[in-house]
Amino acid sequence: MLTKRIIACLDMDGGRVVKGVRFKNLRDAGDPAECATAHARNGADEIVLLDITATSGNRRTLLEAVRSTARSLFVPFTVGGGIRQLEDAAAVFDAGADKIAINSAAVRDPALIGKIAGRFGSQAVVVAIDARKVDGGFEVFVAGGRLPTGRDAIQWAREAAACGAGEILLTSMDRDGTQSGFDCQLVREVAEAVSIPVIASGGAGSACDFIEVFREGRADAALAASIFHFGIEDIAQLKHELHGAGVAVRWPC
């Protein structure tokens, strides 16, 4: 039986894993390679590494972090942040990523999705969408959540899928880092609009939140960062609880 995936996300700034609340107030949470292998050992089905500052000066730091993280990681590994063109993606794959996540660059140039998918396969292209509730709908924000685009998140997810995206990583900016639960309405609307897998992100705080986003939100996977880094919710314990609640998860791993 296909299981629901639990994905651990590492937000990276200058080679270190950090975590903030609503994209702000960053705290240090460790070395990326060490965090990744610890999460994988603990039952994470997948690791996402996001370079949240992603300036051009940071490229080398990112590639080094990808290389050292990939070396001993044998679960799917996604890398995002600052990927603006095919060459950036190629460098990240070359350093050992299995998938890349693109956000702002895809909004600016949707054809980039198809370009990367054409060379590395759709399974390797994750389109990340940061969305916030605005006037009853959900609006797409870019540049780390700083710039509103005026675009509807559900429409954009549909377009990204049509362009060749393999998965959608959907973050609710309203819930990010708050541990107040996923935005199940947002997740469900996107999950019903596309046939590719949807990874829910933003707001994970308890096992109940995961159960809700898998059942009510129809998410294929759920991603969390802060609750795993600081040991609030242990992934092994989380999976044990999900398994007990009848959610199909890779457990025991």
Partner 1 sequence: MIAIVDYGAGNLNSVKKAFDYLGAEVVVTDQPENVATADKIVFPGVGHFSSLQALSRTGLREALLQAAGGGKPVLGICLGMQWLFEGSEECAEVAGAGIFPGRCRQFPSSVKSPHVGWNSLTVQKGSRLLRGVAQDSFVYYTHSFHAPVVAGMTAASEYGLQFAGAVERGNIFGVQFHPEKSGEVGLSILKNFCEV
Please give the positions annotated as active site.
11, 130
CB of 139 to partner 1, least distance (A): 26
Tell how far CA 84 is from the center of its chain. 17
Tokens representing 187? 């997740």
Binding status of residue 1 toward partner 1 by CB under 8 A? yes
Tokens representing 202? 């933003």
Contacts with partner 1 by CB under 8 A: the residue count is: 32
CA distances from 36 to 95, 101, 108 (A): 15, 17, 30
Among 31, 88, 220, 233, binds partner 1 (CB under 8 A): 220
Question: For partner 1, which stretch binds (CB under 8 A), given 131-139, 149-157, 178-186, 190-198?
Answer: 190-198
Question: For partner 1, which stretch binds (CB under 8 A), given 146-154, 169-177, 191-199, 228-236?
Answer: 191-199
Question: For partner 1, which stretch binds (CB under 8 A), given 116-124, 141-149, 177-185, 204-212?
Answer: 116-124
Among 11, 102, 104, 120, binds partner 1 (CB under 8 A): 120
Binding status of residue 45 toward partner 1 by CB under 8 A? yes
Binding status of residue 163 toward partner 1 by CB under 8 A? no
CA distances from 151 to 73, 114, 135, 175 (A): 36, 20, 13, 19
Using CA atoms, how far apart are residues 229 and 8, in angstroms rounded to an integer? 9
Binding status of residue 158 toward partner 1 by CB under 8 A? no
Q: What are phi and psi of 203, to 5 degrees?
A: 110, -5
CB of 51 to partner 1, least distance (A): 19
Across the chain, where does the E strand assignment appear?
5-13, 16-21, 24-30, 46-51, 77-80, 99-102, 125-134, 137-142, 147-152, 167-172, 198-201, 221-224
Binding status of residue 125 toward partner 1 by CB under 8 A? no
Q: Are 250 and 33 in contact (CB under 8 A)?
A: no
Q: Are 128 and 156 in contact (CB under 8 A)?
A: no
Q: Between 30 and 76, whose beta carbon lies closer to partner 1?
A: 76
Among 107, 124, 184, 223, binds partner 1 (CB under 8 A): 124
Question: For partner 1, which stretch binds (CB under 8 A), given 10-18, 51-59, 88-96, 146-154?
Answer: 88-96
Binding status of residue 164 toward partner 1 by CB under 8 A? no
Asked if the peptide bond before residue 110 counts as cis, ω within 30 degrees of 0, the response is: no
Binding status of residue 157 toward partner 1 by CB under 8 A? no
Q: Tell me the DSSP string of 183-197.
A: -HHHHHHHHHH-SS-
CB of 120 to partner 1, least distance (A): 6
CA atoms within 13 A on the CB side of 138: 23
Binding site for partner 1 (CB under 8 A): 1-5, 40, 45, 70-72, 74-76, 93-94, 96, 98, 119-124, 166-167, 195-197, 220-221, 250, 253
